[in-house]
Amino acid sequence: MSNKEVILEAMRKAGEPLNAGKVAELTGLDRKIVDKEFAAMKKTGEIVSPIRCKWEPAA
């Protein structure tokens, strides 16, 4: 499983928008890795921000 898949899975399981720090805590990944993956997923539209500074998988 790639880091991106791990992050998306954790976000789906949480069932609510999460910030990068919480995603890092839930997945056990380093915060820098989460930030890097978030940046890539924002560009491709895989995650959306319904609340400022919090993200969830796109529908």
For residue 46, the SS3 value is coil
For residue 38, the SS3 value is helix
Range of the domain at 49: 3-57
Instruction: Please tell me the total count of domains within the chain.
Output: 1
DSSP string, the chain: --HHHHHHHHHHHH-S-B-HHHHHHHH---HHHHHHHHHHHHHHTSEEEEETTEEEE--
Tokens 């400022």 -> residue: 52
In the predicted model, what is the mean pLDDT of residues 30-54?
A: 97
In the predicted model, what is the mean pLDDT of residues 32-42?
A: 97
- Indicate whether 40 pLDDT > 90: yes
CATH code for position 38: 1.10.10.10
